[in-house]
Chain A
């Protein structure tokens, strides 16, 4: 095995150790399917290994992985049609009965599961921006890089996403 291949193998193990779990979680939050999320992330790692000669940097590799995970998650959603469109409409009736009004400021009492259901119902780009912002703690620039869009578009998706999320939660109260 040549030095470059060994370098790629070592980088693979190091990056896997540091980031595999969080990337699977990111993918799972986007796909709502843990086995599919693992496949997507493993695909991304294999691709990263193949591109290591070009990357040769852990930070670049992580950015590449994020981008690959998001693209593959989108592709997976398209092909397998696992988007739960129902989730975008209404929350369960029994859930609504117990949810306090957001207007009263009791937002913290709302079941977190309902937030996730509401999040799942958002348009894909808005959902991706919110997950990358509030789960992956990425900056606007990093999100823009990962999604392949402009920073302005990130701001726009984030703003619209939060507004839509609030409306969905308030409508169910």
Chain B
């Protein structure tokens, strides 16, 4: 083992030791109140001090100031009083902001079990109240305003603003809201929803909303029910040709992970139902169902049921990923990007690039930056590298994919080393028949653009290859038949994408057949998941960076995203996006 390897291992060991130790350190939950208590004490002391000082009575100030200090000073932790202060520290007296055992016990009201907007816990409401919320956000204390805001921002139906009925009695309130429906030449006022609220402390809280007409009801979930993904949402049928859109939302936004399900029913169908996959970071939220009016397509009925979400554990991610350091394939920590060890030796003639983990081997392009490169593999457990495939003479491998079930089947996009050569690029389907015989078929790319960008990737059945094809200012995720495609346009587009969702730059297929691809939008990078013709956003990284690579685990639960500058982000289903900090840029990664 080299000194360099030992350094890397010691750094990783130190890092993991510190992190593990830190994980065991859990501060007491009263830190903020202790700090605020001390701040308030200082503030009170200052407020007291200034008027007295203005009197000019220096001696009075000196004595009285000490007295005030003695009365108000907050004791620090008894085990850790700063020794330098002990000489001038008066006898500690209880902080006025901290309750004492002799204080009268006031029973706190229980937070309503099905309340979900605008607060989901008593602590959140109390924090709002403590931070001058009632004067800053007075609508929280006004049920009519709260109902309107709920429908506009939570349900996202801002056109439902007309108040049809208003009942407020002490601790409960219902506000019926509607809108004007334009049907031909008629303008018809229609009730859309009745928002139910309860009063808690200084705020009104939404606990649900029902269809003002009593038709759109839910039999599942029940109010306050704890949901796990996917949520099963069902209700009794009614009407003739009805359409409802079903969503799972929280105060922080949409928890649903796929496209919004639209359910059609009516004509005597007794029951409708659908499932909604979701990932909720909040403990509470609501299932929201909106019926769209046949007359104008606007909201006709709105029902919302407050629910709890089962504690979601973020999916675990692999412990390591693979990248390149010093021209060598390297194993890196998935937690922070720190290098762990090298898999390949230092070799002359251009280093390694574009590592990809397939089974128990890491495949990579050897001879990066040269025109004599090759596709090679090295066992994860260590061992000598093996040459897997070589480009055709005069070409170099720019990107590749290996079929997970049979590593003898691979594909690569090769580009000509001379601009005078035609075709400029070729998508090569390379099947190793035996030790001496390979069978290749080609999809020619006569001149760039169009060209393949990033790595092609096999579908799980090995029958198709997914590739991002750049066509000038546009790019598409295309699917080529691994055995029949002969030309650039002899492909399908498996993922429906909205042009506004950005320019695809890299793609990979997981073992379930879902295509994950990264796009560059005007405001950031998005990783999209496409399965069964449906495309949805998995996560977003804000900024102006250009995605370089996307690596998804076989189970589709974790993704690494890189940009062209070599920055790396890790995402796990149910978790958040975390930027890693490898010591050198990692534009191409694998796990």
Contacts and interface: CB of A to CB of B under 8 A. Distances in A.
Interface of A: 5-6, 9-10, 12-13, 16, 20-22, 24-25, 28-29, 33-39, 41-43, 45-46, 49-50, 75-76, 79-80, 102, 105, 107-108, 110, 112-113, 115-116, 119, 130-131, 134-135, 137, 162, 165-166, 169
B552 to A, nearest CB: 26
A76 B77 contact: no
Which 7 residue pairs across A and B have the least CB separation, nearest first? A112-B17, A135-B18, A25-B22, A105-B1, A79-B83, A115-B17, A36-B80
B79 A116 contact: no
Interface in B8-47: 9-22, 25-28, 31-32, 34-36, 38-39, 42-43
B22 A29 contact: yes
A130 to B, nearest CB: 7
A19 to B, nearest CB: 11
B245 interface: no
A173 B209 CA distance: 68
A80 B6 contact: no
B336 interface: yes
A80 B80 contact: yes
Interface in B28-86: 28, 31-32, 34-36, 38-39, 42-43, 76-77, 79-80, 82-84
B36 A12 contact: yes
B215 interface: no
Contacts of A79: 82-84
Interface of A, secondary structure class, is helix
A105 B8 CA distance: 11
B486 interface: no
Given A5-B43, A36-B80, A38-B28, A29 B35 contact: no
B7 interface: yes
B132 interface: yes
B131 interface: yes
A35 B336 contact: no
Interface residues on B, range: 35 or more
A137 B581 contact: yes
Given A9-B36, A113-B17, 20 more contacts: A6-B132, A12-B36, A13-B127, A13-B131, A16-B31, A24-B25, A24-B31, A35-B77, A36-B79, A37-B25, A39-B80, A46-B39, A75-B84, A112-B21, A115-B14, A115-B17, A134-B11, A134-B18, A162-B10, A166-B10
Contact of B21 (A6, A29, A50, A75): A29
Nearest to B1: A105
Contacts of B15: 134-135
A108 B43 CA distance: 51
Given A6-B132, A105-B6, A166-B10, A35 B79 contact: yes
B5 interface: yes
B132 to A, nearest CB: 7
Given A34-B27, A102-B6, A112-B13, A80 B83 contact: yes
Contact of A116 (B17, B27, B131): B17
A162 to B, nearest CB: 7
A42 B34 contact: yes
Contacts of A13: 32, 127, 131
A49 B37 CA distance: 12
A33 B79 CA distance: 10
Interface centre among A12, A75, A112 (most CB of B within 10 A): A112
Contacts of B17: 112-113, 115-116, 119
Contacts of A131: 18
A140 B22 CA distance: 21
A158 B21 CA distance: 20
Nearest to A136: B18
Contact of B13 (A12, A37, A43, A107): A107
B10 A107 contact: yes
Contacts of A38: 27-28, 31, 77
A5 B12 CA distance: 44
A108 B82 CA distance: 39
9 contacts: A12-B39, A24-B27, A25-B25, A41-B31, A46-B39, A79-B82, A80-B80, A116-B18, A134-B18
Nearest to B31: A20
Contacts of A28: 22, 25
Contacts of A24: 25, 27, 31
Nearest to A28: B25
B25 to A, nearest CB: 5
Contact of B31 (A10, A42, A166): A42
A46 B131 contact: no
A110 B9 CA distance: 11
Interface centre among B16, B76, B80 (most CB of A within 10 A): B80
A27 B84 CA distance: 20
Contacts of B16: 112
B12 to A, nearest CB: 8
Nearest to A166: B10
B7 A112 contact: no
A39 B18 contact: no
A139 to B, nearest CB: 10
Contacts of B581: 137
A5 B42 CA distance: 12
Nearest to B581: A137
Contacts of B19: 135
Contacts of B5: 105
A33 B80 contact: yes
Interface string B499-535: 0000000000000000000000000000000000000
A5 B36 CA distance: 12
Contacts of A37: 25
Nearest to B8: A107
A38 B27 CA distance: 7
A36 B1 CA distance: 41
Interface centre among B5, B18, B22 (most CB of A within 10 A): B18
A14 to B, nearest CB: 10
Contacts of A134: 11, 14-15, 18
A107 B84 CA distance: 43
A20 B43 contact: no
Given A107-B13, A119-B14, A10 B35 contact: no
Contacts of B22: 22, 25, 28-29, 135
B131 A9 contact: yes
Contacts of A20: 27, 31-32
B27 A115 contact: no
A18 to B, nearest CB: 12
Given A36-B80, A39-B77, A105 B21 contact: no
A37 B25 CA distance: 10
A105 B42 CA distance: 55
A25 B43 CA distance: 28
A21 B24 CA distance: 11
Given A29-B18, A108-B9, A137-B581, A12 B84 contact: no
